[in-house]
Amino acid sequence: MRYDFSQHASHAGGIHEADENTSYHPGGHASTPHREASVSESERTLGRCPSCGAPGRKVGAETLDAMLEPDDRARVSETIMRFCRTTTCAVGYFAESDALVIDASRLRAEVFQKSTSPERLVCYCFDHRVSELLDDVARDGDSMLPAEIAEKCRQGLDRCAQTNPQGSCCLGNVRAVLTDARASAGPTPDEEPARCASHCCGATTSRPSRSEASRLTAAAHDL
């Protein structure tokens, strides 16, 4: 993996107690208080982010060791932390049962869910970026990356707990990006309607898929 963790220096003010009447946005800056957007103490005890209210997955000590600077790690050494995946929320990790949060900007790796850049990593173990999936779909209509990553995982080559801020496998994120890319790309050439050869009437007919075209060709040879 070629990702440079050193470029993400610790930023002041990124670890704090989240006030229940204040919402936070990317960059760790507090906005105007919004009482209606607050999260109750009972919701916090259920493992919900005190900033956005979304439930979060528990993050293991191995991931916290890899992602946090020493000072931040020491502050949460005895605390169960969870990961916030909400794109519009500045929080990276939050304590399970109180309002302690660590902003995503303080993590040693850029958080996939907190960015929209096509150059962000989607697979941290094997250094694959969103742009690779987009390029594959633009060129071929699909991508083999999910299968390639899954095969490497089966070989035991993954290190998700040490490299991925969410502390778990990236394949769900990879497949989600691929699904969105396919939807954005529209129909493949095999699925696009074919117009009549003369273009005189604008009528469309269903163009056969490659498999159907092969079947029709084989049938013609048999005549």
The Cα–Cα gap between 166 and 82 comes to 9
Domain range list for the chain: 7-106, 116-185
pLDDT tops 80 at residue 215: no
Q: What number does CATH give the domain 7-106?
A: 2.20.25.270
The residue-averaged pLDDT of 53-81 equals: 96
pLDDT digits (tens, 9 = 90+) for 3-20: 343 333 334 456 666 544
pLDDT confidence of residue 222: 52
Q: How far is CA 212 from CA 17, 186, 192, in A?
A: 61, 21, 14
pLDDT confidence of residue 121: 98
